[in-house]
Amino acid sequence: MKKGKGFLLRYRMVIGTFILALIVLFDRIMISVAKHPIAANLSLSDEQMGWVMSIFPLEYALFQSPSGILADKFGSKNHF
């Protein structure tokens, strides 16, 4: 049985998604490790730092859809 382009694309997508999930995981770990020095440097209380940590993933939720819409409209070319 011959494996076509769709088969290879499927596995590339799975591997790419896995790599992106690892990047997001490392990003969260790095921010949680840097939380204490940042809070100490900026004199933030635990409650204020909680707000900062809560807003961090919110930016993804707010800007992901508009970014996707703009990418669909203008394409993935580099416009800079």
Q: How do the domains of the chain map onto residue ranges?
A: 5-74
**The model's pTM:** 0.50
Dihedral over alpha carbons 54, 29, 18, 57 (to 10 degrees): 10
For residues 59-73, average pLDDT: 82
Higher pLDDT, 58 or 21: 21
The CA distance from 16 to 69, in Å, is: 21
List the single range of 10-14, 52-56, 75-79 with lowest mean pLDDT. 75-79
Going 12 to 14 to 18 to 23, the CA torsion angle's sign is positive
**At what angle are helices 46-74 and 5-42 packed, to 10 degrees?**
150
DSSP string, 3-25: --HHHHHHHHHHHHHHHHHHHHH
